[in-house]
Amino acid sequence: MSNRVIETYFRGLIMRSLDAIGKEELRDLLGKGWLTHDGMWFYSVYNAYGIERANKLNKDAIKSMVPFEVQRLTQIIGINKNQLKSMEDIRDFVLCGMELILPASVFSKLHFSTTSRNVLHWEWEKNECFAYKGMKRMGVIESYECGVMYRIECWLESLDLKFIANPRPEKCQMHERGYCAGDYEFQF
């Protein structure tokens, strides 16, 4: 049998081969696996050390991971950070990067737009942020500090871009305000 066989007979079960699984289905599986690991890591730290420590260690881990992530993203996208000179360039980088790392089912709920010459607007669909849903299920939403938008801020800092975030990603906005949206105002 070749690798291209769509169904494989194994111990009486019919299973699809890797070649038969579509790229989007595989991306979704891997992305959701990463998000689940991330959430369970946070929950384990929370259970062992409390919410303040979990929030701090989560942000520390994000901050230390981002330079590697941004380097890999710029390589795979085929750009260099010095090429990000306009709002459209920055928006396209963030969109492409988020699309590469998030499962399509999650990425489709997060929207970015340029609202002026120097503002990148972001917004999650109501109640659709994966972190909001996960932290709510864990029972820690009251004290959770947003790691999702913090990660994007760390991307922008790693790219040496000067910006002001409004609002700053502190507590979960979806929980606090009923929606999650904001702007990054860049200084060119």
pLDDT in tens, 99-132: 999 999 999 999 999 988 899 999 999 999 999 9
Classify 116 as helix, strand or coil: strand
Residue 63 in tokens: 């901050």
Does residue 144 contact residue 176 with C-beta atoms inside 8 Å? no
- Would you kindly state where each structural domain of the chain is located, as residue ranges? 24-186
Percent of the chain past pLDDT 70, that is, above it, reads 93
Q: Is the pLDDT of residue 9 over 60?
A: no
Give which of 39, 37, 76, 35 is closest to 54, Cα–Cα.
Answer: 39
Of the pLDDT bands very low, low, confident and very high (cuts 50, 70, 90), residue 12 is low
Fold of 24-186: Muramoyl-pentapeptide Carboxypeptidase; domain 2 (3.30.1380)
